[in-house]
Structure 1
Amino acid sequence: MLHSESIRTCSDETQRHTTFSRRSVPVTSCLAAFLIALAFQATGQSTSAREQPTLGVRSVKLLEQDGLKFKDLNRNGQLDKYEDWRLSAQERSRDLLTKMSLEQKVGFMLISTTRLKNDQSFGTATAKEPITSDFNEEDLVASQNMFTRKPLPTPIMNAAGTTKAVTQFHLRHFILRANVSARTTAEWANKLQALCEGDGLGIPAIVASNPRNHITASAAIGTSVGKTVFSAWPGELGLSAMRDLKLVREFADIARQEWSAVGLRKGYMYMADLATEPRWQRIEGTFGEDAQWAGQMMTEIVYGFQGKTLGAGSVAVTTKHFPGGGSGEGGQDPHFDWGKKEVFPGGKFANNLIPFKAAIKAGTSSIMPYYSLPADTKFEPIAYAYNRAIIHDLLRTELGFTGIINSDTGPIEMMPWGAENLSIQERYKRTLEAGVNLYSGTADPANLLATVKSGTVDTKLIDDSVLRLLLEKFNLGLFENPYVDEAAAERLVGNAQFQARADLAHRKSIVLLRNETGLLPLKPQTKVYFDANAAKTGGSATAATSYTINDGKYPITFVATPDEADVVVLWLKPSAKSLFASDGSPIYLSLSKNAIDVAYVNALAAKKPTIVAINYSNPWVIDEIYRKEANTGIKGVLATFGTTSDALLDIVTGKFSPTGKMPFTTPSSEAAVQQQKEDVPGYEEGGGYALFNYNEGLTYKGGNKKLSVSKR
């Protein structure tokens, strides 16, 4: 991993000093910082135990001892062990633990949504003013499940007013859902850290987020933020399809720099779940169906975000959803009662563990259990957050995970599968004894505090959890400097150099599956009708007007109607019912059941040679428009996984030769989907199952002499 301060800014306007081991180097460009950081990475040098770190201070005084400076976080005028950055994170954590009250410890074990002023995350969108970097001081108390919108037996506090959360509830872990500018995020993060610095023991906050760097068809609160000001990369399946682990590591390191620049230091990501059940609505967030490859992807992701160890420039990774959530019965999701069972008809439970083992070996900071309960295994049929045999015996003891076990959002109040008959306090007790360290879903610590005070829970479990959480904060350097440079963040996030690398990834993520008669790449001067808006059921197709006039980027000629064209290029983007709109009805993968006007596609293909690109957020069944044995007008098939029109056109016109490989198998028919086993990867389903195979992908003759993206 690059040094934590490898790139302070991508502007030459101001010369800044970046501190490295034992010396200070003036850095005037991103490239200089990058090269210096690489040199230190290669030599393995690290900060001396006695080297003065940068101390970020807003309100507390600095203490001086032996010519060194320290923050007096608890304002007692003396240097406590937890304030002494020369000591180990373990020693500092144990000292701070002894100073925390029970109320502070319990508040420390909650992570909840936090909101900026006018931010309506999870609430009713009523604010007319823009979101700002000030605090939202309103509590958000919900009487319905924040995800499913189903009534709750007892209201819960999804989010607390910021000042109240910090000073009264003692919360120091937060989830940011808002999608705002880099400067706004950085300004807000600094205000939050200043509030924490001025309260009690001065314990800093850690702010987490779902992914923010991907083009996705299913952005939603709780899964992915979607398009943001951060560099925009292919979806997770697209990163996997690149088959380029080096570029995956580079992606993660670039994202790390962007996240840490705005004060986001923890990721609720990435999914180590396997895409073995093609109907599951969260496949888009996985790295595909092959366990070994997913494990290699997770290794690069963890190293890219965290480094080989957590440090001052790291973003802590939360790997999810243990022990794998990709084999839900019938493809249903455990956010719902009808999807709570995870089944293993193929006996492949152990296969799910392979990517998690890789993440653990790489040092992932946290692991998140899913809501599911195992339905046909040796394990008790109770949700994984309650399942001691899964969390303690398997994850902690057998797999040797020593980090934080972070519950998914709401297993106590909203999705307590298998524990529905337990009281709230009994649920907390059961999950604590199973091994949960950090609870997501509520901002109010009252029920957890009451559980601990009842005397039914061993307080050693509380201390163990708090110690693990403190260690993460100390290792991330948050006690020394949790603040960020707001102006530098604005310059760094989404900069042109970062996006250029993302643009390369987009092109490498596209898979060429069929090229009948060698129609691709399209010859110069070919007249092309390009419909990039996905022919939707119930509405007429609309041509991508920005491509009716060629501005010199491509050697082809765009036309306004199919009748004028030599070749039709259709980019189909099937879309299933959104995850949180699920009603338990059977899930189908045919195009006609997922918002594609099949008749329109077939009519065009009957008249003109047609190239079809399909955005595979699931392994869609495309036999309504293309079959192996049928001689249709479709002459080429490409697969995309969250990308841009420019990237697709670079492939179609031959400016970039396709190199991607399929991250999963696509079924040949709807019948094949309904007959497959939920836990078995498609490449093991037997003859007749696959239309396109796992790892399948063609290229053009000659390929890419140099994999790069031409400047525009």
Structure 2
Amino acid sequence: MKTVVEMFHGLIVTAQTAMHRRQKTCVTASVGIVVLVFLGAFQTLRQPARAKVEQPVLGSRSAKTLEVGGLKFKDLNKNGRLDLYEDWRLPAEARAQDLVAHMSIAEKVGFMLISSTRLQNDWAFEAPKNKEPITSQFNEEDLVTSTNMFTRKQLPVPIMTAAGTTKAVTQFHQRHFILRANVSARTTAEWANRLQALCESQPLGIPAIVASNPRNHITTAAAVGTSVGTTAFSKWPGELGLSAMRDLKLTREFADIARQEWAAVGLRKGYMYMADLSTEPRWQRVDGTFGENAEWVAQMITQVVLGFQGPTLSPTSVALTTKHFPGGGAGEGGQDPHFDWGKKEVFPGGQFQNNLIPFKAAIKAGTSAIMPYYSMPVGTKYEQIAYAYNKAVIKDLLRTELGFKGIINSDTGPIEMMPWGAEELTITQRYHRALQAGVNLFSGTADPAELLKTVEGNPDDVPLINDSVRRLLLEKFALGLFENPYVDEVAAETIVNNPKSAARAAVALRKSIVLLRNDVKALPLKAKTKVYFESYQKGGNAPATGAGEVYAAKGNSYPVEFVSTPEAADVVLLWLKPMSKSLFASDGSPLYLSLSKNAVEVPYIKALMAKKPTILAVNYSNPWVIDEVYNASTKSRCQGVLATFGTTPEALLDVVTGKFNPTGKMPFTTPVSEEVVQKQQEDVPGYKEAPGYALFKYDEGLSYPGNQ
């Protein structure tokens, strides 16, 4: 079977090339001819397959069912006969090649765009137009902007970042969408079914695939384009917290549970996870990484990919898009390449190859797609142009050297908004350059007009278009979307965040906590200790000064007593949650990690710690410098130090009271001072920095005495 499929594919490519040279408009016809020639061969393939395959469940809203040899198939193109792409018995490669032959250039180009889609009353990226709740109906309004959605700067040309749903499907031929809305499981499932029904009603009946950013993590830095934040899904530690667990089995279990939840509501593609390394501690996306050690991150990425996708893509999988190739954690000065001032990725320590280790693991595990970042490399052998345009990095390194065969999905907006190194090119020239580099799926705009213009003006791009569409179709066929893209709306509510999943997430939240200092053995807290527990986070609507939130136990099941003032306490439990400036509020000014530069009122904290012996917990979304409150003069008052990475008060209390023995390990090194932060090398992990750099070391973590 494999040999015939390979011959089939090879002859199609040959025929395309030959026909293209003779008559540029005949590419589709040439493919059709090859399909007819090999029809007999595939008919042979069908016969023995009948005894081995099971009839899949077919989900249909408008397509009629065909019965052939006692088996059922969906007549997606409504022509009354079974076409190759409709025949689920055939290899995905054969089905994809057949469908490519059926598609017009306009359909192919629309198929190569992925953009945001919105539910009714969902106003992502713009000011709300009403106060009505988000529903499962479509938002039919186009979102056209002349402003960069990330930098808020004027664009050279307006772009359509989202199209009205019906227009996107019926006129723009889009079948790839990014869902940003944070709604209930039922609402998401109902909307997803409506979207698939609309797609099924179209001439070729090609289903949609809906992607999302992470939805299963507790984070203080949720933002459109990075993380949806706390949702209806099960609530696990942040990515750094998953890494801190040092438990690959539970990591795999997390990914499998999340997979079931996503698939239940119709989300079949994840714009995640980050294989980037947190070698630059100031980077505002450190909290989305698995830390600074490339070998460990590679193991984490492996388990995450296998948990979401399985050994191979199947109808139960959620396909992952691993990002951001070839690693985006070494931005100059910690700045991010969403912005002009952060476009350079630098390698003063010569660690470019170190960045590739997690991506090699993701490829080996079978990740469905890989996303290049906006950065352009500086100080390497590669051209200084953004990775989406960088043929030597994408085609030569990723495709040829690393052997990646899946989808290359641009990040959002490298054509219109972040074209670093390609600023002088026109929009069509940028598309052409990115196609030649190897990009298969473009994120950022819903309107295919410029890409269509590019292909019409560059006929040599047609084979690249066909190859891209083929790769995108292979993913959909493997996921079983052509057979049944629909979900059980009622079941979705029982699958998402069910008690069993929540219980496993609760274990992870506790395992993610790291005990760093316990010199006087103050932890675990003794029974009947009077505890003042303050969670300090200044961001959003919180007052800039004064106390944080004081914890009041409900139905206290802890052996300690909670009090409402530090004066009444034996011990202060202080949970600091520093907050850097939002990524998308960056202005190019220098980045710092000191607490006073990251929404912590240091005089208040020092005064509070001076009142009573203190247990200090710090939520590390970056490797914060805490020397302003934890130094030679205050260490005697600080009886214990813990690190958290997105968890709950209850999980922290379980650790400090001894109900749960801490086992977590640091996923990165924390610097001893701001001075060493400013001198470190962007691409060098903290554990390889010069002696004297670290306060808390990578992989550091204690357990309670007797439980080492």
TM-score (norm 2): 0.91
Which amino acid in 2 is paired with 1:428? Y
| 1:581 counterpart = 2:580 | no
Q: Deviations over 1:431-473 (max 9, x none)?
A: 0000000000000000000000113543110011000000000
Q: Give the whole-Å Cα distance in 1 for the aligned partners of 2:265 and 2:183.
A: 11
| 1:228 counterpart = 2:231 | yes
Q: Deviations over 1:350-400 (max 9, x none)?
A: 000000000000000000000000011110000000000000000000000
Alignment of 1:516-555 (within 5 A): 516-534=519-537, 538-547=544-553, 551-555=555-559
Q: 1:398 to 1:47 in 2, by over 3 A?
A: farther
The residue number in structure 2 matching 1:249 is 252
Given the alignment, which residue of 677, 680, 684 partners 2:684?
680
The residue number in structure 2 matching 1:201 is 204
**1:418 deviation in Å?**
0.1
SS at match of 1:189: helix
Aligned residues: 657
The residue number in structure 2 matching 1:278 is 281
Q: Deviations over 1:621-658 (max 9, x none)?
A: 00011136864311111000000000000001000010
Q: Deviations over 1:306-326 (max 9, x none)?
A: 000000000000000000000
**1:48 deviation in Å?**
7.2
The residue number in structure 1 matching 2:38 is none
| 1:102 counterpart = 2:105 | yes
The residue number in structure 2 matching 1:300 is 303
- Residue range with higher mean Cα deviation, 54-63 or 598-607: 598-607
The residue number in structure 2 matching 1:79 is 82
The residue number in structure 1 matching 2:394 is 391
The residue number in structure 2 matching 1:28 is none
**1:516 deviation in Å?**
2.4
Aligned residues of 1:132 and 1:184 also touching (Cα < 8 A): yes
| 1:448 counterpart = 2:454 | no
Given the alignment, which residue of 453, 475, 484 partners 1:481?
484
Alignment of 1:310-709 (within 5 A): 310-455=313-458, 457-534=460-537, 538-547=544-553, 551-627=555-631, 631-703=635-707
Q: Give the whole-Å Cα distance in 1 for the aligned partners of 2:551 and 2:284.
A: 31
Q: Give the whole-Å Cα distance in 1 for the aligned partners of 2:204 and 2:301.
A: 36
Q: Deviations over 1:564-583 (max 9, x none)?
A: 11000000000010000000
Which amino acid in 2 is paired with 1:260? A
Aligned residues of 1:216 and 1:235 also touching (Cα < 8 A): yes
Aligned residues of 1:374 and 1:380 also touching (Cα < 8 A): yes
SS at match of 2:574: strand
Which amino acid in 2 is paired with 1:408? D
Q: Give the whole-Å Cα distance in 1 for the aligned partners of 2:510 and 2:272.
A: 24
Taking every aligned residue pair, what percent have the same amino acid on both sides? Answer: 72
For structure 1, the residue ranges without an aligned partner over 5 or more in a row are 1-45, 705-712
| 1:65 counterpart = 2:68 | yes
Given the alignment, which residue of 148, 170, 173 partners 2:173?
170
The residue number in structure 2 matching 1:115 is 118
Which amino acid in 2 is paired with 1:278? P
**1:545 deviation in Å?**
4.4
**1:412 deviation in Å?**
0.2
SS at match of 2:384: coil
Aligned residues of 1:572 and 1:614 also touching (Cα < 8 A): yes
Which amino acid in 2 is paired with 1:689? Y
Aligned residues of 2:667 and 2:699 also touching (Cα < 8 A): yes
SS at match of 2:552: helix
The residue number in structure 2 matching 1:707 is none
**1:146 deviation in Å?**
1.1
Q: Give the whole-Å Cα distance in 2 for the aligned partners of 1:50 and 1:689.
A: 60
Which amino acid in 1 is paired with 2:433? R
The residue number in structure 1 matching 2:15 is none
SS at match of 2:520: helix
Aligned residues of 1:175 and 1:208 also touching (Cα < 8 A): yes
Q: Give the whole-Å Cα distance in 1 for the aligned partners of 2:423 and 2:264.
A: 42
Aligned residues of 1:120 and 1:127 also touching (Cα < 8 A): no
SS at match of 1:516: coil
Aligned residues of 2:193 and 2:487 also touching (Cα < 8 A): yes
Which amino acid in 2 is paired with 1:565? A
SS at match of 1:636: strand
- Residue range with higher mean Cα deviation, 535-544 or 463-472: 535-544
**1:702 deviation in Å?**
3.2
Aligned residues of 1:321 and 1:370 also touching (Cα < 8 A): yes
Q: 1:450 to 1:543 in 2, by over 3 A?
A: closer
Q: Give the whole-Å Cα distance in 2 for the aligned partners of 1:543 and 1:124.
A: 30
Aligned residues of 1:238 and 1:642 also touching (Cα < 8 A): yes
| 1:91 counterpart = 2:108 | no
Q: 1:535 to 1:96 in 2, by over 3 A?
A: closer
Q: Deviations over 1:163-199 (max 9, x none)?
A: 1100110000000000000000000000000000000
Which amino acid in 2 is paired with 1:188? W
Q: 1:459 to 1:509 in 2, by over 3 A?
A: same
Q: Give the whole-Å Cα distance in 1 for the aligned partners of 2:52 and 2:477.
A: 14
**1:119 deviation in Å?**
0.5
SS at match of 1:179: coil
Q: 1:49 to 1:160 in 2, by over 3 A?
A: farther
The residue number in structure 1 matching 2:218 is 215
Aligned residues of 1:525 and 1:555 also touching (Cα < 8 A): yes
**1:696 deviation in Å?**
0.1
Aligned residues of 1:534 and 1:570 also touching (Cα < 8 A): no
Which amino acid in 1 is paired with 2:637? G
Q: Deviations over 1:582-602 (max 9, x none)?
A: 000000000011111211221
Q: Deviations over 1:656-697 (max 9, x none)?
A: 010000000000000000000000000000210000000000
Q: Give the whole-Å Cα distance in 1 for the aligned partners of 2:51 and 2:484.
A: 17
SS at match of 1:546: coil
**1:607 deviation in Å?**
2.5
For structure 2, the residue ranges without an aligned partner over 5 or more in a row are 1-48
Q: Give the whole-Å Cα distance in 2 for the aligned partners of 1:560 and 1:543.
A: 10
SS at match of 2:272: coil
Which amino acid in 1 is paired with 2:77? N
The residue number in structure 1 matching 2:26 is none
TM-score (norm 1): 0.91
Aligned residues of 1:512 and 1:658 also touching (Cα < 8 A): yes
Which amino acid in 2 is paired with 1:653? T
Q: Give the whole-Å Cα distance in 2 for the aligned partners of 1:264 and 1:414.
A: 27
Aligned residues of 2:115 and 2:176 also touching (Cα < 8 A): yes
Aligned residues of 1:429 and 1:456 also touching (Cα < 8 A): no
Aligned residues of 1:49 and 1:86 also touching (Cα < 8 A): no
Q: Give the whole-Å Cα distance in 1 for the aligned partners of 2:350 and 2:466.
A: 38
SS at match of 2:536: coil
Q: Give the whole-Å Cα distance in 2 for the aligned partners of 1:552 and 1:637.
A: 24
Q: Which has the higher helix share?
A: 2
Aligned residues of 1:429 and 1:457 also touching (Cα < 8 A): no
Aligned residues of 1:535 and 1:601 also touching (Cα < 8 A): no
Which amino acid in 1 is paired with 2:134? I
**1:153 deviation in Å?**
1.1
SS at match of 1:683: helix
Q: 1:421 to 1:543 in 2, by over 3 A?
A: closer
**1:543 deviation in Å?**
4.2
SS at match of 1:626: coil
SS at match of 1:378: coil
